[in-house]
Amino acid sequence: MHEQAISHEDVAESDLVTRRGTFRAVAFRADGHEHMAMVYGKTRMRENVLVRVHSECMTGDIFGAMRCECGEQLDAALDAIVREGSGILIYLRGHEGRGIGLVEKVRTHVLQDEQGMDTLDSATALGLPVDTRDYGPAALVLRHLRVRSVRLMSNNPDKIEALESNGIAVAARVPLLMPANDHNIGYLTAKRDRLGHDLPQVDVFESDLPHAVDR
Ligand SMILES: [Zn+2]
């Protein structure tokens, strides 16, 4: 039932020297999008490979937006992989705004800013689904790379389940906690309270606020 392999027409790889070091850049097509797996060190046929499956977020990843923690998580995950000496960051396209796309995501920002809605209500108010992300392409490329099991950097227990249901052995979940601040606290709180993410730093931030009861 799991998709077998990436056909050779849909994959290309080369070395890619980055500020952090030299990765193997594996570009591939799946589900109508072009994705990238950034492979560092030896991961083939290995167990417990440190992996981040990162959902594309242009505002956070490229422009450093502070309303979500995506850009910081991307940096932290790449840093952790290099520190470990091996690992894989899979960058999944078509995941903007948990799958609604960039234009609709920016529309949700308007509702969040002007009406105080959170990340979920602003999507449903526009008639959009809260999360349509598919992790099949991540599983596909992990099989292509012959990874035996992964330690997944994520705060989202559902993501573990999604990978496992796509046939990937997840040996452990490794938290990837970014500091809360005034700009991302609403987003982090919604993720914790309404999407079931494990975000203990949010409690710490809330208890440090003199006006915590008002929030
Ligand atoms: Zn983001």
- Please check if 151 is assigned to a binding site: no
Dihedral in degrees, nearest 10, Cα atoms 151, 154, 158, 161: -10
Active site residue 131: yes
The count of structural domains within the chain is: 1
CATH of residue 182's domain is 3.40.50.10990
Q: Is residue 38 part of a domain?
A: yes
Backbone angles phi, psi at 29, to 5 degrees: -105, 135
Kindly name the residue from 10, 75, 131, 198 that is annotated as catalytic.
131
Q: Is residue 87 part of a domain?
A: yes
Active site residue 10: no
Q: Is residue 100 part of a domain?
A: no
Q: How confident is the model at residue 3 (pLDDT cuts 50, 70, 90)?
A: low
pLDDT single digits (tens) 156-169: 999 999 999 999 99
Q: What is the mean pLDDT of the chain?
A: 93
Q: Is residue 189 part of a domain?
A: yes
User: Cα(57) to centroid of ligand 1, in Å?
Assistant: 5
Q: Is residue 137 part of a domain?
A: yes
pLDDT single digits (tens) 60-108: 999 999 999 999 999 999 999 999 999 999 999 999 999 999 999 999 9
Please give the pLDDT value at position 188: 93
- Please check if 106 is assigned to a binding site: no
- Please check if 98 is assigned to a binding site: yes
Please give the pLDDT value at position 4: 73
- Please check if 201 is assigned to a binding site: no
End-to-end CA distance of the chain: 46
Residue with tokens 């227990």: 157
Domain residues for the domain of 53 are 8-95+133-206
Q: Is residue 85 part of a domain?
A: yes
- Looking at the predicted structure, is the pLDDT value of residue 211 above 70? no
Q: Is residue 127 part of a domain?
A: no
Backbone angles phi, psi at 174, to 5 degrees: -110, 115
- Looking at the predicted structure, is the pLDDT value of residue 215 above 90? no
Q: Is residue 119 part of a domain?
A: no
User: Cα(61) to centroid of ligand 1, in Å?
Assistant: 7
| Close Cβ partners of 136 (under 8 Å, ≥ 6 residues apart) | 3, 30, 31, 166
Kindly name the residue from 61, 107, 133, 192 that is annotated as catalytic.
133
